Amino acid sequence: MEPVVRMVGITKRFPAIVANDSVDFTLEAGQIHALVGENGAGKTTLMRVLYGQYAPDEGEIWVGGERRSYNVAGALALGIGMVHQNFMQIPEMSIVENIILGHTPKRLGFVNYRQARQRVQELLTRFGMKNSPDAPISSLCVGERQKIEIIKVLYLGARVLILDEPTAVLTPQETTELFGILRELKAEGTSVIFISHKLREVIEIADRITVMRKGRVAAGFDGGGVDETAVAQAMIGKQDVQLLQNDKAADIGAAVLEAKNLWCFDGDGVPKLRNLSLQVRAGEILGVGGVEGNGQSQLIDILVGMLQASGGTVTLAGEDISRCSIRERRDRGLGYIPEDRMTTGLALEGDIDENLICGCDNRGPFSRMGLLMRKAIRENTGRMIESFDIRGVSAGKPVKSLSGGNMQKIVLAREIARNPKVLIAAQPTRGLDIGAINFVREHLLARKRGGTAILLVSADLEELMSLSDRLIILYEGSCAGEITDLGTVSEADIGLLMGGVTRRKKEG
């Protein structure tokens, strides 16, 4: 039988990188095809080519036996639909309005709501959703919003469904539910392409696995009983690469950073943090987990000083810093690795000198009496490049041309070289390749051994479990549970906490 989609020799170049290098990809009817690989391996680029967002520089796309070239509208007409990693929805509008947006059924020039509502209702029922088609998107939780995205694509008549990292924002239970839906769709003959880097899930659901590495297809596996390590090897491409673990050798001191009864309300008066208390002790890594959007960013912003809490106190080494400016907090020994290095961690237009001294620029050795000491600044840069192995920098050039790993090394260098008492690390390895991940982990663990209290906020459960001494899970702004016995707890248990089922509550 003719495959639904055949991509042959696809090459897509961007100024700095060849994102896809003569990639072949075949999708059969009724197949769940997983596309795995590390960040930056070219998965999303390949799918955007298939979805018509990018035109390939070389190569052919065959859809249903015919060679095609098209844009996004053309892709939809051919029955190819994509669910993006970041939902493209308007929260204030209703489910049905979001679904028909751009494809409104019309009658005499008016929107034919009755027809739209009827079709949307059918789809909602089929997906086991009890929400009214007129409910606003903002009233839905993340898992439901994702289902709406899938429904939208099906509403447009997609027979090929591309899902970009659909499970990144889901709890394990919601993931199981999603897989049920995918299997149903498959039974109806819809083909699914599933981008992920979570191997266990992929092996569970996929009929076929294609592994990408550095823009090329590294390996292909047929689903069913695939060896996880074989896929991992193909993904990483190196033998014997092990992610560093916390040896949990406890040499933990007194509490350094303490938050008591934190409350935070957003602009609409919705509580984002509810009476949250926590403490981080010297030489300890406290992991903070949870589905994204359960108060993690507010917690970080309040601790760092970017946001004023609506209530509660933050103390650093016994001193109340709730009212301190960011600079005062940093002067007292707070270090901060922001979640987003592109917007908060670095000035991309600045050069490495400028990025390394920011925040310390007003004191020796970098300045004297308000004048910048350029020699000292350059020497500092040289030292940092050496000890943090920062590659690809040239003096005076904006850091935006560096790779993600090297950018993160600059952030690390700036924050760690100050020898902080407390380090707040938000998603410190997000989007990095495995070498860089290990580099970051190595430095975090070294700081821990040096006695720094580290608060690690991460969406990656594996990372939290292997680095934390202790773990708390946030759910709707409060602590759903604290886990001290990380060796014995299972990911499923943590999944329950992430979904808001309280396991046990201990007041810190």
Partner 1 sequence: MGAKTAALDLRGLKHWALGLVSPVCAILISFIMAGIVVVFSGGNPLEAYGALLRGAFGSAAGLRNTVRYTLPIIMLALSFSLCDRCGYFNIGQEGQMFTAALAVAWVPQFMGGAPGFLQILVMVLLGALVGGVMSLIPALLKFLLGINEIVIGVLLNYIATLLSSYMLLHASFADPNSSMPMSYLIEAALPAAAMVGGVVLIVLVYGLGMQRTVPGYELRMIGKNPRFSRACGLPTVRIILIMALIGGAFSGLAAVGEVAGVYHKMYEGFAAGMGYNGMTAALIGKGGSVGMVFGSLILGALQSGSVTLSVETSVPAELVQVVQGFVMFFATVNILRFGFRRNRKGGN
Footprint on this chain of partner 1 (rule: CB under 8 A) = 12, 14-17, 19, 39-40, 42-45, 48, 54, 85, 304, 306, 325-327, 329-331, 336, 338, 343-350, 354, 357-359, 361-362, 367, 370-375, 396, 414, 431
Two tokens, residue 207: 């009929």
Q: Nearest Cα to 313, choosing from 348, 273, 254?
A: 273
> What's CA 226's distance to the chain center, in Å?
26
**Cβ of residue 404: shortest distance to partner 1, in angstroms?**
10
**Cβ of residue 170: shortest distance to partner 1, in angstroms?**
18
Residue placing its CB nearer to partner 1 in the complex, 86 or 242: 86
Distance CA 501, CA 475 (A): 9
Residue placing its CB nearer to partner 1 in the complex, 4 or 457: 457
Residue placing its CB nearer to partner 1 in the complex, 80 or 480: 80
Residue placing its CB nearer to partner 1 in the complex, 4 or 19: 19
Contact present, 196 and 40 (Cβ < 8 Å) = no
Element (H, E) at 280: strand 271-281
Residue placing its CB nearer to partner 1 in the complex, 53 or 233: 53
Residue placing its CB nearer to partner 1 in the complex, 181 or 306: 306
Single-letter residue type at 141: C
Residue placing its CB nearer to partner 1 in the complex, 52 or 481: 52
Q: Which residues contact 184 (CB under 8 A, 6 or more apart)?
A: none
| DSSP type of residue 500 | T
| DSSP type of residue 334 | E
**Cβ of residue 138: shortest distance to partner 1, in angstroms?**
23
Contact present, 33 and 207 (Cβ < 8 Å) = yes
**Cβ of residue 342: shortest distance to partner 1, in angstroms?**
9
Return the beta strands (E) in 282-411 as ranges. 285-289, 311-316, 319-320, 334-337, 367-368, 371-372
Partnered with residue 483 across adjacent β-strands are 471
Distance CA 412, CA 428 (A): 9
**Cβ of residue 393: shortest distance to partner 1, in angstroms?**
15
Distance CA 273, CA 308 (A): 12
**Cβ of residue 301: shortest distance to partner 1, in angstroms?**
9
Distance CA 436, CA 216 (A): 20
**Cβ of residue 307: shortest distance to partner 1, in angstroms?**
11
Residue placing its CB nearer to partner 1 in the complex, 14 or 189: 14
**Cβ of residue 351: shortest distance to partner 1, in angstroms?**
10
Strand-pair category, 208-213 with 216-222: antiparallel
Residue placing its CB nearer to partner 1 in the complex, 19 or 498: 19
Give, rounded to a whole angstrom, the gap between the first and last alpha carbons of the chain.
61
Residue placing its CB nearer to partner 1 in the complex, 45 or 380: 45
Single-letter residue type at 369: M
**Cβ of residue 426: shortest distance to partner 1, in angstroms?**
11
59: left (phi > 0), else alpha (psi -120 to 50), else beta? left
Strand-pair category, 5-14 with 17-27: antiparallel
**Cβ of residue 202: shortest distance to partner 1, in angstroms?**
17
